[in-house]
Amino acid sequence: MRALVTGGAIRLGREMALYLAEQGYDVAVHYAQSDAAALQTCAQITALGRKSVALQADLLSDAGSQPLVARAAEALGGPLTVLVNNASIFEHDTLETATRSSWDRHIESNLRAPFVLTQEFAKQVPQAQEDAAGEPIASGLVINMLDQRVRKLTPDFASYTVAKMGLWALTQTAARGLAPHVRVNAIGPGPTMQGVRQSDQHFTRQRAATVLGRGSNPSDITAALGYFLNAPAVSGQLLCVDGGQHLAWQTPDVLGLD
């Protein structure tokens, strides 16, 4: 079993790469600039008894995205059966401030790259097998990392949000188009790991403001990944692992009502 995790050197990508190794997968760890972290993650995977390789690629262009699946399969010694589209650019803009540059960066990283990688993954994945009852079992699984905000749209992070909404559409259409050989699902984290621009206080408040009064932890995200790995009848689905953040209903218009 072989997997590719984009953005697998740090943060949630690293957590998922290590989790896959613990589940018996050889893992290709993609990175853009975090070379030292990627090598460290690979070393941890190797220590778990699995094969690993760090692969640098710029996912802002097809020249970086298109060969990545083949590079990973060659390095790991055979076809990939899991692809985690995790690499993402998350920068603030609004409808008023967005530029062509901010639009392109978010669309290329969050939508175009996963689209190209999914195409290449599907080309090399083994054909569906049959279970004991003679029913097909998909040989490939794609996991797209979304954001709970696709269930609760806001005007902030406009280009990012549009790109993630596109990735949710891709999840559903690819689940139809690539069946029965490939399943395609998505995970939508909420406040899980503190953002680089966030203060400790803001992150704590954000987690506490969810419906459950808590955010998610990396182990919650890997648990969702584990569910999809072991759920052969599930495709085209989104799990929002967010403490119920996407269910928030005490918005100013509601709170202002008598």
Residue listed under structure tokens 């495709």:
235
3-state SS, residue 105 = helix
| Alpha-carbon gap, residue 162 to 94, rounded angstroms | 11
Residue listed under structure tokens 């689209």:
115
Kindly report, residue by residue over 164-190, the tens digit of the pLDDT. 999 999 999 999 999 999 999 999 998
pLDDT above 50: residue 258:
no
Kindly report, residue by residue over 20-70, the tens digit of the pLDDT. 999 999 999 999 999 999 999 999 999 999 999 999 999 999 999 999 999
Kindly report, residue by residue over 203-254, the tens digit of the pLDDT. 778 787 788 888 889 999 999 999 999 999 999 999 999 888 898 877 766 5
The type of residue at 166 is G
Q: What is the mean pLDDT of residues 121-140?
A: 91
| Alpha-carbon gap, residue 70 to 194, rounded angstroms | 33
143 beta partners:
84, 185
The pLDDT, as a whole number, for residue 29 is: 98
The pLDDT, as a whole number, for residue 4 is: 98
The type of residue at 212 is L
Quick check: 42 and 55 in contact, CB under 8 A?
no
3-state SS, residue 181 = coil
Kindly report, residue by residue over 74-108, the tens digit of the pLDDT. 999 999 999 999 999 999 999 999 999 999 999 99
What is the Cα 86 distance to its own chain's centre? 3
Task: Write out the two tokens for 136.
Answer: 């097909």
The pLDDT, as a whole number, for residue 254 is: 59
More confident residue, 142 or 131: 142
User: Which of 112, 53, 85 shows the shortest CA–CA distance to 228?
Assistant: 85
3-state SS, residue 52 = strand
Q: Give Dmax over CA atoms of the chain in angstroms.
A: 65
Quick check: 218 and 226 in contact, CB under 8 A?
no
The pLDDT, as a whole number, for residue 244 is: 85
Quick check: 55 and 28 in contact, CB under 8 A?
yes
The pLDDT, as a whole number, for residue 38 is: 97
